[in-house]
Structure 1
Amino acid sequence: MPAPAVAPVPRAPESRAPLYPLLSTPHIHLSGPVDHDMYQSFRAQLTAAPVDGPLVVAVSTLGGDPEVARLMGDELRLIREYTGREMIFLGKVAVYSAGATFMASFPVDKRFLTRGTRIMVHERSITKTIELSGPLKSCVAGLKASLHEIEESVRIEEEGFRDIVAGSCVSFEDLCQRAPANWYIEAEEARAQGLVLDVI
């Protein structure tokens, strides 16, 4: 009886990590919820990091406060614009929600992901109860204030979406269509779509 055929074992993809030696030792490590505790850790690590040369920021998060993500990104943007220093993003395992917002502050050619990492982009959400009580004009003012809050949040969200896709093959309109259903993007797809430079 002939021996059963044995399917060849697929070879693991050759690591591209040696192409980017800087990514082996990030200067800033951020993990967990994007919140004010993460911001304090970010500030402490940024202060302790070397003042010259490229700065590598590694991130793994399931999400959190998008305004904290924007704040951290803005601080890096100011350093980059004032000093010309190179800022590099390295996403590990999960770059969800506010993590993607933070990633958006880096140009696509400065973004990297580790193998198996997923990016997740979604729309902002709000939970709010509005109670109407008192003179009618004050009720109108309160409703308008809530509407303005929502409208401004939508504008901020769209700014972030444009930053995420700038320089990639993904259009702003495509991202807006996918975001309501939570768009999960695997690392290799992110590279193929030009959302990141490479996967290590």
Structure 2
Amino acid sequence: MVHDDGTSATRYPLLGRPHVALSGNVDQAMYQSFRDQIAAAPRQGTLVVSISTLGGDPEIARLMADEIRLLREYNDRDILFLGKVAVYSAGATFMAAFPADKRFVTRGTRIMIHERTLNRTLDLSGPLKTCAASLRASLHEIEESVRIEEEGFRDLVAGTSIPFEDVRARAPENWYIEAEEARSLGLVLDVI
């Protein structure tokens, strides 16, 4: 029998050795590593996924998040999130896939939430109707990206004390949340 001395090690022993450990840029290489580690992880019991990232591709983060959702729903798995050091941008998008009561961060970790960005130059040339269609297509892309972003914000704050309007208002200025603040807001269950 293990004596509970009140430390994270005794309260959350599984968090000491994540089954899936991701670090670096959220990109195709991280996605492949994620898939490989999920395939090698035990098929039964609680699964622990850790990440440390300065960000990357939000669509790959959403793809990994959807894989977590499918694992949870189709395999009836309890899956825990562990953020280490930096959970920025696409990392926060990935974190949103986990219910707030299944999220943990290590001491000193920072979470950063911000808006998606777009860098594009539009070159309008040719028939006016074609130019108008190009402008509408770009506007539709922006509007849909905002909808996707807001879905992610809603998932991130579900079950927390953070109103959706607060995250939407603070995201344009890169909202950094320290580990203890994340716990007090209910964004994570605990700090280890």
TM-score computed with the length of structure 1 as normaliser: 0.92
Pair 1:25 & 2:12 matched = no
AA partner of residue 139 (structure 1): C
Instruction: Could you tell me which runs of 5 or more consecutive residues in structure 1 were left unpaired when the two chains were aligned.
Output: 1-13
Q: Report the counterpart of residue 142 of structure 1 in structure 2.
A: 134
Q: Secondary structure of 1:139's partner?
A: helix
Cα deviation for residue 83 of structure 1 reads 1.6
Pair 1:159 & 2:151 matched = yes
Count of residues in Structure 1 that have an aligned counterpart in Structure 2? 187
Q: Report the counterpart of residue 3 of structure 2 in structure 1.
A: none
Runs of 4+ in 1 over 4 A off after TM superposition: none
Pair 1:45 & 2:37 matched = yes
Cα deviation for residue 92 of structure 1 reads 0.2
Cα deviation for residue 50 of structure 1 reads 0.6
Q: Secondary structure of 2:34's partner?
A: helix
Instruction: Could you tell me which runs of 5 or more consecutive residues in structure 2 were left unpaired when the two chains were aligned.
Output: 1-5
Cα deviation for residue 76 of structure 1 reads 1.1
Structure 2: how far apart are the matches of 1:199 and 1:49? 24
Deviations 1:84-112 (A, max 9, x none): 11111000000000000000000000000
Q: Report the counterpart of residue 164 of structure 2 in structure 1.
A: 172
Q: Report the counterpart of residue 69 of structure 1 in structure 2.
A: 61
Q: Report the counterpart of residue 127 of structure 1 in structure 2.
A: 119
Larger radius of gyration: 1
Q: Which of 95, 99, 104 is equivalent to 1:112?
A: 104
Q: Secondary structure of 1:50's partner?
A: coil
Q: Report the counterpart of residue 56 of structure 1 in structure 2.
A: 48
Cα deviation for residue 15 of structure 1 reads 4.0
TM-score computed with the length of structure 2 as normaliser: 0.96
Q: Secondary structure of 2:112's partner?
A: strand
AA partner of residue 163 (structure 1): D
* Cα RMSD for the two superposed structures: 0.8
Work out the percentage of aligned pairs sharing the same amino acid: 71
